[in-house]
Structure 1
Amino acid sequence: MGKNKNSDTRTRRQFLKGLVGTAAFTIVPRHVLGKGFTAPSDQLNIAVIGAGGKGYSDAINAYNGGANRIAAICDVDWHSARALFEQFPKAQRFKDHRVMFDTVRDIDAVTISTPDHTHAVLAMAAIKRGKHVYVQKPMAHNIAEVRALTEAARRNRVVTQMGNQGASGLGVKLMQWWFDAGRIGRVHKVEVWTDRPVWPQGIATPTERVAPIDGLAWDHWIGPAPAVDYHPSYHPFKWRGWWDYGTGALGDMGCHLIDPPFRVLGLDRVLAVESSVVSLYSRDWEPDYYPKSCPAASTTQYTFAATEKNPQPVELIWTDGGMRPFRPALIPADHPLGDNDSRNGAMLWGEKGVMTCGLYGMHPKLYLNSGEVIIADNSKLQSELPENGHQRAWTQACKAGFGSSAHRNLSASFDYAGRLTETVLLGNLGVRSYELRVTDGEHYRNPGRQKLLWDDAAMRVSNFEPANQFVAREYRKGWTL
């Protein structure tokens, strides 16, 4: 296969200089550049909405060792929030975000780390009050919400960031640099895969009555979704596998794994999506049908328009459920694809070779037609940007203000994250349409098993009207954007 390099031979200074000169969405965090930044205020007063799991680390990273203040913590389940309560005993505690906003008047910024179905209503509540917003991926539960949040953030001049932290990593920067230098030429195909779901999917809706967790504000957890009784199949964590609350494997991992090729190629406009979904059988001949549960495995093909950076259409194929693409001839038989264990990754097929990466853009590699192989030093890339760099860049931009260079250089503000999230959620239009059934009483057919043509300006599928029911949702009474 030719020469195998453990890392690019350029110096770190040359690397960063090269990135600044060539990458369309490049940021270099201030903690990498060092001196020269003075915030207009010393501390942000931060409210945390969703304090367990990822919410805990988002809060700690935004707190940044005392550079900012955790003023309020809001969670419907105080048991899951216990660790953060103990860490910040002086922070005011709430279960209802509306009460929190009415009570704590000095909030500057909000982190939102809740189930997908409440991202938009919580983020919009903060934006309308002029609060800066950090929201976990995916940015919202459906495409209409994404558009509304993007426009509201601009209109209210607030600083935003989505929680796909790999977007701020140097692995993605290196991939941008390689592509902009013409290392693999024009790209015609991208393959992206994940081992998710790692939670139950493709299952029947629970019917038994279960007592709620003590102290859980279940009605507020349901939020804008249709009312149901509490069940441990929904909370905690397993909500990801239900369409009313989560967005499936694609919604969970797409913003991480599609981001590197999306950013590197300057992708934007999706022309069409087509999905295929696995069938599961618990009885003879008749496949199981659980329309409220996301499928156990699926694959989706996106067709992207040509871009200035990559002047030809691109086919992007997403696969979840533990399946992955096969190894191109350029990649040796014993080399992993994407991650070191091949469970997650992205692969860009170009005229001159193949570029790959793992989750968060880590483990970037080049396999060129010339026989050259370049494997980046992953440990060095990781050490260059600590995990909290993504949140730290956001808090610094909040201090610098809307429209500042710090704000413009964020890697996942809603102006960028909105288009990425729309792309991810468009795939779910294909997945959900594929499973739609029309019945005559004895037999059924699946009319959505076709390529869906997307009208971006009108925000609708132009050739299969039933798919448009998933572009937006009706909110439960008492909830609104």
Structure 2
Amino acid sequence: MNNESRRDFIKKAAIAAAGVTIVPRHVLGGPGFRAPSDMLQVASIGVGGMGGSDVNKIFQSNKANIAYLCDVDKARAKNSVEKFPKAKFYTDFREMLDKEAQHIDAVSISTPDHNHAIQTLAAMELGKHVYVQKPLAHDVWEARALTHAAKKYKVVTQMGNQGASGDGVRQMREWIDAGLIGDLVEVYAWTDRPVWPQGIAWPAQKATIPSTLDWDKWLGTAPYTEYFDKLVPFNWRGWWPYGTGALGDMGCHNLEAPFSIYGLQYVKDVQASVGSVYVDEFKRGYFPESCPPSSSVTMTFPKTAKTKGDVKVHWMDGGIQPPRPDELGANEKFGDGGNGILIIGSKGKVLADTYAANPRLLPTTKQYKKVAEKYQRVPGGANGHWAQWVEGCLAGYGNMEMSSPFEIAGPLTEALLMANLAIRGADLKIDNKYPGRSLKLLWDNDNMRVTNFDEANQFVKRTYRPGWEVNYTF
């Protein structure tokens, strides 16, 4: 082969080789193949119970690799560990993020409420996208900090109130935009929860810590206390040091629709009444660490671009329900029987079930004008909530709309935590009296302070256990 032929051969061979390298990797791997570099690399903190469900839903997007699992309870984590055997397992989220940050794109957080903020901030500060179970935070200050941080660090966020991705809230929005119920008058939302103990004394008898549970890490930001029976995995919801009661559990589901439809933001005032528990027929019990068995809260929101004035939002739990609408038939379910949403307008009413599912205009026997579909549905509806987040993370910050980004979820959670602040204020015993029960708490939103009952401000931001402080500067 002469020199010219040799040069021509080498040139053609190089071109051919280059051509091979640009063949899409999914073609090389066969149908359905996605190269690891095309997949979202996810770390999950809290992978038992709801956390296990979240991990599975994220994985089912077919665009996420569950690369790391973290849980302080090895027994609770067992199913997820077995399902994702290639995922590296940790018991300390701080160690996981410290060692694996460069390999992680996004973090799913499904731990008890009191540890949401410290774990979410740690991930966002590393530039990781985050999916966080509802409620977003435990305290008002935490919700504000997470909302601010999401924008600061430019990460894709989603709260785990999957109803926000459902068709129901979009249908309701279309009806309301079309003027079918007129101007907003007021909103009611309710739940039959709690279905765990509330309004009880702190257990006097400690129990043996399960051998699979790292109790110190489970406590995290909460004050150190002795372990007691049945606190884990579920009953923590009814204790203020860890949970946020029925309102924290279901409020993000049942108030998301009216909150997002009308563009509500921060409360201007809030008042609460709580159910009492008696230790005997004459003496009322006082259990400051336990959420009350039932509550009723009224929040006032300032006027928005979609309302004619201030908005009253009523929340009820523990089986309390608002007055049944006259337009509802005698045998028709009020909500889904235990939970519901009722939006009252000047010309009509909308009723829906939990998660804003099954919306209907009242009375259901009336014929209403057909309203064109205006808002794009999320593929899979509520079940597509997790995949939407995965897609958003792959698209990058600001390139895809999320159903419950912290921009919406943060103020929603903060409003609910303000309702909890009022509940705790109403249940606050001072000099053998309950002065907060007769007050409407006035809220200075800019300074995050109650202006007319200073004792309630202790619930805006709690004191963290040494070594577990949540630090953030606005």
TM-based fold match above 0.5? yes
Residue in 2 aligned with 1:306? Answer: 303
Match of 2:352 among 357, 376, 380: 357
Residue in 2 aligned with 1:20? Answer: none
> Amino acid of the residue matched to residue 217 of structure 1?
D
State which drifts further: 263-272 or 317-326.
263-272
- Note the C-alpha offset of 1:246: 0.1
On the 8 A contact 2:238/2:244 being kept in 1, the answer is yes
CA distance change for structure 1 residues 201 and 54 in 2, over 3 Å: closer, same or farther? same
Query: What secondary structure, in the 3-state scheme, does the structure 1 residue paired with 2:288 have?
Result: coil
User: Does residue 390 in structure 1 map to residue 385 in structure 2?
Assistant: yes
Residue in 1 aligned with 2:240? Answer: 243
List alignment gaps of at least 5 residues for structure 1: 1-37
- Note the C-alpha offset of 1:232: 2.5
Match of 2:192 among 191, 195, 200: 195
The ranges of structure 1 where at least 4 consecutive aligned residues each deviate by more than 6 angstroms after the TM superposition are 373-376, 381-384
On the 8 A contact 2:240/2:289 being kept in 1, the answer is yes
State the distance in 2 between where 1:374 and 1:467 align.
48
Match of 1:473 among 462, 467, 473: 462
CA distance change for structure 1 residues 333 and 374 in 2, over 3 Å: closer, same or farther? farther
Query: What secondary structure, in the 3-state scheme, does the structure 1 residue paired with 2:75 have?
Result: coil
Correspondence list, 1:358-437, <5 A: 358-367=353-362, 371-372=366-367, 385-404=380-399, 406=400, 409-437=401-429
Query: What secondary structure, in the 3-state scheme, does the structure 2 residue paired with 1:479 have?
Result: coil
TM-score where L is the length of structure 1: 0.86
- Note the C-alpha offset of 1:373: 6.6
- 1:252-279 per-position Cα deviation (integer Å, ceiling 9, x unaligned): 1100001111112222231111000011
- Note the C-alpha offset of 1:346: 0.6
State which drifts further: 78-87 or 309-318.
309-318
- 1:177-213 per-position Cα deviation (integer Å, ceiling 9, x unaligned): 0000000001111111101000000011012121101
Correspondence list, 1:31-430, <5 A: 42-64=38-60, 66-104=62-100, 105-339=102-336, 342-367=337-362, 371-372=366-367, 385-404=380-399, 406=400, 409-430=401-422
- Note the C-alpha offset of 1:383: 11
On the 8 A contact 1:191/1:347 being kept in 2, the answer is yes
- Note the C-alpha offset of 1:64: 2.2
List alignment gaps of at least 5 residues for structure 2: 1-33
State which drifts further: 47-56 or 280-289.
280-289
Query: What secondary structure, in the 3-state scheme, does the structure 2 residue paired with 1:79 have?
Result: helix
Percent identical residues:
48
CA distance change for structure 1 residues 179 and 382 in 2, over 3 Å: closer, same or farther? closer
On the 8 A contact 1:345/1:359 being kept in 2, the answer is yes
- Note the C-alpha offset of 1:147: 1.1
On the 8 A contact 2:269/2:441 being kept in 1, the answer is yes
Query: What secondary structure, in the 3-state scheme, does the structure 1 residue paired with 2:281 have?
Result: coil
- Note the C-alpha offset of 1:103: 2.3
RMSD across aligned positions (CA): 2.2
Query: What secondary structure, in the 3-state scheme, does the structure 1 residue paired with 2:309 have?
Result: coil
- 1:391-421 per-position Cα deviation (integer Å, ceiling 9, x unaligned): 11111111111121x1xx1111111110100
Q: How many residues align?
A: 431
Query: Considering only CA atoms, is the larger Rg found in Structure 1 or Structure 2?
Result: 2
On the 8 A contact 2:441/2:452 being kept in 1, the answer is yes
> Amino acid of the residue matched to residue 392 of structure 1?
A
CA distance change for structure 1 residues 283 and 121 in 2, over 3 Å: closer, same or farther? same
Residue in 1 aligned with 2:436? Answer: 448
On the 8 A contact 1:364/1:375 being kept in 2, the answer is no
TM-score where L is the length of structure 2: 0.87
Query: What secondary structure, in the 3-state scheme, does the structure 1 residue paired with 2:51 have?
Result: helix
Query: What secondary structure, in the 3-state scheme, does the structure 1 residue paired with 2:289 have?
Result: coil
State the distance in 1 between where 2:388 and 2:35 align.
12
